[in-house]
Amino acid sequence: MWKKLSLRTRLTILYAGLLALLLTILGVTFFIDTRNLLIENTASHIRATAKPIIEHWLYGENLSSQAIEGTKKKPDSKYLKKISRQLARDLTSRNVVAIVLDKNGKVIANGKVLEEEPAPVSPNPFYYRRAFSGENEVTYILSTDNKNVLVLLIPLRSAPGSDHVLGVVQLSSPLTPVERILYRHGLTLAVGTLITLILGTALGLLLISSALSELRHMIATCQSITEGRMDQRVHLPQRSDEVGQLAQAFNRMVERLEASFSAQRRFVASAAHELRTPLTALRGSLEVLMRGAQDDPATVAHLCHGMYREVLRLSKLCEELLDLAKLEISENVQKEKVVLKEFVNEFEEQARVLSQEREISILEGPSVSLKADPNMLKQILFDLLQNALQHTGRNGRIALGWKLGDNGVDIWVEDNGHGILAEDLPHIFEPFYQGKKVSECGEHHKGSGLGLTLVKAMVEAHGGSIEVRSEVNRGTTFLIKLPFE
């Protein structure tokens, strides 16, 4: 369900959820803090008001006047009982009602007289025992039928700071005024939170939408590319963030795809063209034969010879095309350990047969072995050697050698032939490309232009690379870099 929602909806929900959580936590914390502060304030206000009254009644003039009479110097239970009514009365006001408890927890005086004065709550033994034991600030909130009452207990000591507690004053004050303030406060907070949440979510939605608009633009571009418009690109030059990087990566990918598609189209067109030439020649010869040339044995022999050549060309082309196709599949490279020296020695024998009177020198390098497909390696060297032979004169010299490279072996094939024109050089590895020098030099070989394409594909299938250096009328060097593994 969640995954089915659009990214925009998901991000907005997430954002609004987080905002709501944050605002709730802040609001609740703020509300609780305010409530505690208000209650604490009320409590300390009540205590501050009560303190001088209690001191007056317990240790003030009243007691002294009795002391002069010679009865008491310190207040005792009796004295407390005597003054408790007046003390409770003095401590009671419109908001606070006081009761006095004696040592046994019995109410000995109740301050409520007037109707508008709040009713006292019944004392809770758990708390007043704590006050009796001398604890000064016993405060608690009592909840009775929807009403919260703040209760404060003050021990009445026989002398200031004495441990001897005569009784306890219980002051209780309804929290209604505090709650009224808190209610208004809470309402303001809730409305504020809601407004912030709505505005924040709207703003978030706007921001997310604008951030994602470029992605939607990319989706649209993708769709038009899918429909075949390969020239489409995503233009986000002003963005350097992830979306901008995605756009750049996307453009590079499309560029590569476009290049590879057009290379493929060119390849098919060239292949068709290459196939058409021998087929046209064959058709021509066959037409001549069918028109009755068979009566002339010389013509027949000539035509058959030509046709055979074209058929050979066609089958070679087919072989090469098949080889190229095979190289696309990496499983077709069967690597095994090749000891380079042994391998080249074996190759040299076959090369000599091919070279006729031309000189082939082997420049042996360090004895190394590498992992390679020996059949492919042989074909690579064979193709390069054949090219070298084709492009050197009768007394040409060809050299083959190897040395240790950066991370593998560098094998080179060098000739002192007529070289490659600078304008041909960047293209010689392209399928069906043939240099102009070939026709100029009038060699009778008719290649397909697939030889070096195959060589390059085979080298790359080994994880290697191929380079060429050539100077017209000086010679050409092909350098193959093969990794050890």
Binding site for Mg ion (CB under 5 A): 387, 447, 451
Torsion over CA of 307, 310, 312 and 316, rounded to 10 degrees? -160
Q: Which residue is nearest to Mg ion (CB)?
A: 451
Contact in structure between 387 and 419 (CB atoms under 8 Å):
no
Q: Which of 153, 428, 459, 466 binds ligand ADP (CB under 6 A)?
A: 428
Please give the helix or strand (H or E) that residue 481 lies within, else none. strand 475-483
Least CB distance to ligand ADP at residue 285 (A): 23
The one-letter code for the residue type at 219 is: I
Q: In this complex, which beta carbon is closest to ligand ADP, that of residue 17 or of residue 426?
A: 426
Query: Distance between CA 152 and CA 131 in Å, rounded?
Result: 10
Binder of residue 417, out of ligand ADP, Mg ion, none (CB less than 5 to 8 A by kind): ligand ADP
Q: Which of residues 397-426 bind ligand ADP (CB under 6 A)?
A: 415, 417, 419-420, 424
10 Å Cβ neighbour count for 283?
12
Establish if 452 lies at the interface with ligand ADP (CB under 6 A). Answer: yes
Measuring CA to CA, how many Å separate 375 from each of 107, 315, 333, 353, 452? Answer: 114, 20, 9, 18, 16
If one asks whether residue 138 binds ligand ADP (CB under 6 A), the answer comes out as no
Number of residues that bind ligand ADP (CB under 6 A): 21
- φ and ψ at residue 444, rounded to 5 degrees: -85, 5
Residue 59 binds which of Mg ion, ligand ADP, none (CB < 5-8 A, kind-dependent): none
Distance CA 466, CA 279 (A): 33
Q: Of 20 and 479, which CB lies nearer to ligand ADP in the complex structure?
A: 479
**396 is an interface residue for ligand ADP by CB under 6 A:** no
Q: From the list Mg ion, ligand ADP, none, pick the one residue 154 interacts with, judged by a Cβ distance below 5 to 8 Å according to partner type.
A: none
CB of 319 to Mg ion, least distance (A): 13
Specify the residue, 109 or 450, whose C-beta has the smaller distance to ligand ADP: 450
Closest CB 428 distance from ligand ADP, rounded Å: 4
Binding string to ligand ADP for residues 175 to 204, with x set by CB under 6 A, is what?
Answer: ------------------------------
Could you tell me if 451 and 375 are in contact, meaning their C-beta atoms sit under 8 angstroms apart? no
Q: Binder to ligand ADP among 75, 111, 155, 451 (CB under 6 A)?
A: 451
Whole-number Å distance between alpha carbons of 414 and 474 = 11
- Write out the binding residues for ligand ADP, residues 352-391 only, by CB under 6 A: 387-388, 391
**Three-state secondary structure call for residue 193:** helix
Q: Does 438 bind ligand ADP (CB under 6 A)?
A: yes
Query: Minimum distance between the CB of residue 10 and ligand ADP, rounded to whole angstroms?
Result: 55
Instruction: Annotate 309-352 with three-state secondary structure.
Output: HHHHHHHHHHHHHHHHHHHCCHHHCCCEEEEHHHHHHHHHHHHH
Q: Are 84 and 61 in contact (CB under 8 A)?
A: no
Looking at beta carbons only, is 408 or 447 nearer to Mg ion?
A: 447
- List Cα–Cα distances, 6 to 16, 84, 201, 209, 280, in angstroms: 15, 75, 16, 11, 59
**Binding positions for ligand ADP, 298-337, rule CB under 6 A:** none
Amino acid letter, 430: E
- Looking only at residues 209 through 268 of this chain, which bind ligand ADP when binding is defined by CB under 6 A? none
Interface ranges with ligand ADP (CB under 6 A): 387-388, 391, 415, 417, 419-420, 424, 428, 433-435, 437-438, 447-449, 451-453, 476
